[in-house]
Amino acid sequence: MHLLEKAPMPHDPVPELLRRATEQLEAGFAGLPAYEPDPIPDLDVIAGVLATVAHRLGDNYPYFHPLYAGQMLKPPHPLARAAYALAMKINPNNHARDGGRASSEMEIEAVGEIAAMFGWSEFLGHLTSSGTLANLEALWVAGQLAPGKRIVGSEQAHYTHRRISAVLKLDYAEIEADSRGRMSLEALEAELRKGDVGTVVVTLGTTAIGAVDPLDEVLKLKARYGFRVHVDGAYGGYFRLITDDLAEPARRAYLASVEADSLVIDPHKHGLQPYGCGCVLFREPAVGRFYKHDSPYTYFTSKELHLGEISLECSRAGATAVALWATQQLLPLTPDGEFARGLKSGRGAALELDRRLGADSSFVRLTSGTPELDIVVWKLKAENAERASELAQRIFVSCATRGLHLALVQLPVLWFEPAGVGQAGAVTCMRSVLMKPEHAAWLDRIWERLSAGCAEVLGV
């Protein structure tokens, strides 16, 4: 296991509250006749298996800890974990009301709160098991509405869009990104002039650097060329809550999301939820007609909407909806709430790390300026891309031995050089995702370990 502080696992005060809630849940079914469940195997055997599980799980990076600042991994809120565990006493299935009456209502309410965050009051939407499935549904509907038309997205959009389009037998094309990692409007319009683009995928928060595509400008092109706009906010969607804290281009893009045709967000990223919890929203409820199907054994106990009637997935964990609903009760999706303050904290930490990198001669920052969200990337200063990539790999390992876990990413070399200067091709860079609210308080310790790792590799 990698070195951390003396007490790497934070104290969890929730189990006792979960025990009380479990007793209350069980009391609600006290009127049922008693029955004898199958006997539980030897408790010593169970204890041994759990001990083995705990040992095996120790072979992981410490995703829960502030010194893990690498990939997009944020620990679920303790309430989300407890609500999920409580729901598993029943194990509801949100495909139909028959399998999850209460949890279906919770899902509808929780999804409505997410939609309201984007300014939507009329919509169709539901949770999914992942952002990939949510994007698949959005592009499937896009293909139904514009058969034979192409899907296009930035070359920095998530690779899942190309793969999903292939599964759906839809033509997909990548649009060049500019030096800020955003979709190039000039390149997009060149594709639109061909007259066969049905949907443009706009990313609010790219996976590599957290770049925000110019959604407001894309919508202006929509008025001229006529196409659907699908917003992939799987990573960055929640930043809609703190638009006043973003730079003006990103602020305008997020405010324009109210005009998107469909939208995806992943509560299992910034939303403090366990995996897997994605969400897909359609601004026009009438797209529900494409989901219409009949089931002779499922949708008969309620005249209310069954979520399976508007979802490509069938069985879905109702516990996911319960956890999300509970979390949003505690932390409402409001610009002035605690949840929004957590987003601001992570963004503040990213800006401060970027500032420190800029003041250190060992590093080269993106020429595009400060991070748009909470992802920071930087290149090692070296005579060429090969040497910079080698140094990044070595520093990545050196930092890990000190308990600091970062990430690596390949980016165009030209993103780090003034226009017309430098090499073509890609370079391996260092990357940090500062999405935990605690990262701001831990930034000094993160910087100390990064500096020590660099000193060991660079000999400075």
77-103 confidence digits (pLDDT tens): 999 999 999 999 999 998 888 889 999
Least confident piece of the model among 16-30, 343-357, 408-422? 408-422
pLDDT of 97 reads: 85
pLDDT of 98 reads: 85
Q: How far apart are CA 272 and CA 236, in angstroms?
A: 13
Q: What is the mean pLDDT of the chain?
A: 92
Helix (H) or strand (E) holding 342: helix 338-358
Helix (H) or strand (E) holding 265: strand 262-265
Chain-centroid distance, C-alpha 82? 21
Least confident piece of the model among 21-35, 287-301, 376-390? 287-301
| Token pair recorded at residue 188 | 């997009």
Confidence of residue 212 (pLDDT cuts 50, 70, 90): very high
pLDDT of 181 reads: 95
Secondary structure (DSSP) of 57-112: HTSS--TTSTTB-SSS--PPPHHHHHHHHHHTTT--BTTSTTT-HHHHHHHHHHHH
Burial of 351 (0-12, 13-18, 19+ CB in 10 A): middle
SS3 51: helix
278 HSE (CA, 13 A, CB side): 21
% of the chain exceeding 70 in pLDDT: 93
Least confident piece of the model among 130-134, 135-139, 187-191, 312-316? 312-316
To which residue do tokens 């638009």 refer?
Answer: 243
Confidence of residue 201 (pLDDT cuts 50, 70, 90): very high
Peptide bond into 276 cis (omega under 30): yes
Burial of 81 (0-12, 13-18, 19+ CB in 10 A): buried
Q: In this predicted model, which residue has the larger pLDDT, 212 or 297?
A: 212
- CA triple 308-312-313, angle to 5 deg: 70
Instruction: For residue range 144-170, list pLDDT tens digits in order.
Output: 999 999 999 999 999 999 999 999 999
CB 372 within 8 A of CB 366: no
Nearest Cα to 354, choosing from 422, 413, 434, 415?
A: 434
CB 309 within 8 A of CB 292: yes
Q: In this predicted model, which residue has the larger pLDDT, 6 or 369?
A: 369
Neighbours of 24 (CB within 10 A): 10
Q: How far apart are CA 15 and CA 196, in angstroms?
A: 56
CB 352 within 8 A of CB 359: no
Residue 230 reports pLDDT greater than 90: yes
pLDDT of 369 reads: 83
Residue 405 reports pLDDT greater than 50: yes
pLDDT of 9 reads: 59
Residue 421 reports pLDDT greater than 80: no
Q: How far apart are CA 450 and CA 406, in angstroms?
A: 9
SS3 202: strand
Secondary structure (DSSP) of 379-405: EE--SSHHHHHHHHHHHHHHHHHTT-B
Residue 8 reports pLDDT greater than 60: no
Q: In this predicted model, which residue has the larger pLDDT, 239 or 14?
A: 239
pLDDT of 418 reads: 67
Neighbours of 338 (CB within 10 A): 11
pLDDT of 3 reads: 47
| Token pair recorded at residue 258 | 């109210």
Indicate the length of the chain as a whole number.
Answer: 460
Least confident piece of the model among 57-66, 237-246, 298-307, 346-355? 298-307
Residue 124 β-bridge partners = 282
Residue 263 reports pLDDT greater than 60: yes
To which residue do tokens 């639109």 refer?
Answer: 192
pLDDT of 36 reads: 81
Query: pTM of this prediction?
Result: 0.92
CB 199 within 8 A of CB 228: yes
Q: How far apart are CA 29 and CA 106, in angstroms?
A: 20
Chain-centroid distance, C-alpha 330? 20
User: Backbone phi, then psi, for 365, in 5-degree steps?
Assistant: -90, 170
pLDDT of 196 reads: 96
Confidence of residue 21 (pLDDT cuts 50, 70, 90): very high
Residue 313 reports pLDDT greater than 70: yes
pLDDT of 1 reads: 40
Q: Which value, in Å, is the radius of gyration of the alpha carbons in the chain?
A: 24
Nearest Cα to 236, choosing from 439, 433, 437?
A: 433
Q: In this predicted model, which residue has the larger pLDDT, 226 or 41?
A: 226
